[in-house]
Amino acid sequence: MTIKDTLLYLGKATLFGLIMAAMFLLVTRYFDNQSLGNSLLQTRANNTVELSFAKAVRRAAPAVVNIYSLSIDQNRPLNSGSLQGLGSGVIMSKEGYILTNYHVIKKADEIVVALQDGRKFTSEVVGFDPETDLSVLKIEGDNLPIVPVNLDSPPQVGDVVLAIGNPYNLGQTITQGIISATGRNGLSSGYLDFLQTDAAINAGNSGGALIDTNGSLIGINTAAFQVGEEGGGHGINFAIPIKLAHSIMGKLIKNGRVIRGALGISGEPINPVVAQILNLPDLKGVLVTGVDPNGPAARALLMPRDVIIKYDGEDVPGVEMLMDRIAETTPGKKVLMTVIRQGKQQELPVIIDEKVVVDN
């Protein structure tokens, strides 16, 4: 092979490699754009492409409202009142229904809702649920901005999120972080299943929106982790998942309150030691540790040390599932429970009561 042939061969090989590299970069760029979403890539005036959440914010932010309490001086009732910042809320429908935290409006006499376009409305309280710290307000207005909602794709750990609210009554503010954890419960009533995020949620952010990078609502901001009296600032903040919040909202709009069933027991998971002592076949079920003497369980003759393995025909894998099913049962319904008592199975019928809501 001559030098000319060698150079020609190397030239063709180099050209082919450059073409393949260019195609690879184009394909990679295309899929990168698709995965990030068009809302994240913004072309600036100097033709540079930068990562941005501006489109997501523009989709959601107009529907995030500031909530105020109208304070009237009792000594001078004829004078106009002053507005005191309480927190934030999210407009969920064109009918003017707004989701917020119950603790935001709990002590307010008259509630004023301020939109980002400058409009202000006096709102009415449709209903509230102290168990989940959620409340629904309603305003009357035309062309209300509505937040996009994502009920189908649950957030995952590592997802980028944005928190929108009115911290310290400074005005609407956006903070950014990730989903740090999901399924955080036991932080309140046991009915919650918090999203944990490091996006800053300060006083006044409560009731505001936690959105994904498409601008869809995935949670209602509710609390920051505190140690003693030192407040938040630890990067540990919580939001109520929108699927739960949306469900509670529907019940509040329908009934003005959330109706839950009550069995009148306390229970704990089965561990290997308990399983051996009580002669249980496996670790499934809930060990009854306490029975309210005035509750449905006592009337059904359920006893401490009984193990509930089935509720209304459904296997009981653990405490969370059982408590959820009890809460979802319509009060007055007769339910058949399968329990293991002293190593033997038996069935106990029970009529579920309505859970009494305690407003602390």
Cα dihedral 177, 182, 185, 189 sign: positive
Exactly one of 39, 123, 135, 206 is catalytic; which is it?
A: 206
CA-nearest of 222, 260, 257 to 241 is: 222
Is residue 103 annotated as part of the catalytic site, yes or no? yes
Is residue 123 annotated as part of the catalytic site, yes or no? no
* Residue 53 and residue 199 in contact, taking contact as beta carbons nearer than 8 Å: no
Single-letter amino acid code for the residue at 106: K
Single-letter amino acid code for the residue at 275: A
Rg, C-alpha atoms of the chain:
28
Looking up tokens 């496996």, which residue turns up? 282
Exactly one of 88, 103, 123, 180 is catalytic; which is it?
A: 103
Q: How far is CA 64 from CA 98, 250, 309, 333, 357, in A?
A: 9, 19, 45, 40, 29
Phi, psi of 3 (to 5 degrees): -60, -40
Exactly one of 133, 212, 306, 353 is catalytic; which is it?
A: 133
Q: How far is CA 213 from CA 31, 34, 107, 199, 298, in A?
A: 17, 13, 34, 13, 50
d(CA 313, CA 316): 9
194 token code pair: 């918090």
Give the E-state strand segments of 145-298 in sequence order: 160-165, 173-184, 194-197, 209-211, 217-224, 237-241, 261-262, 265-269, 286-291
Phi, psi of 5 (to 5 degrees): -65, -40
The set of residues, in sequence order, having a beta carbon less than 8 Å from that of 255 and lying 6+ positions away, is 127
254 token code pair: 């329908």
Is residue 189 annotated as part of the catalytic site, yes or no? no
Residues with a catalytic annotation lie at 103, 133, 206
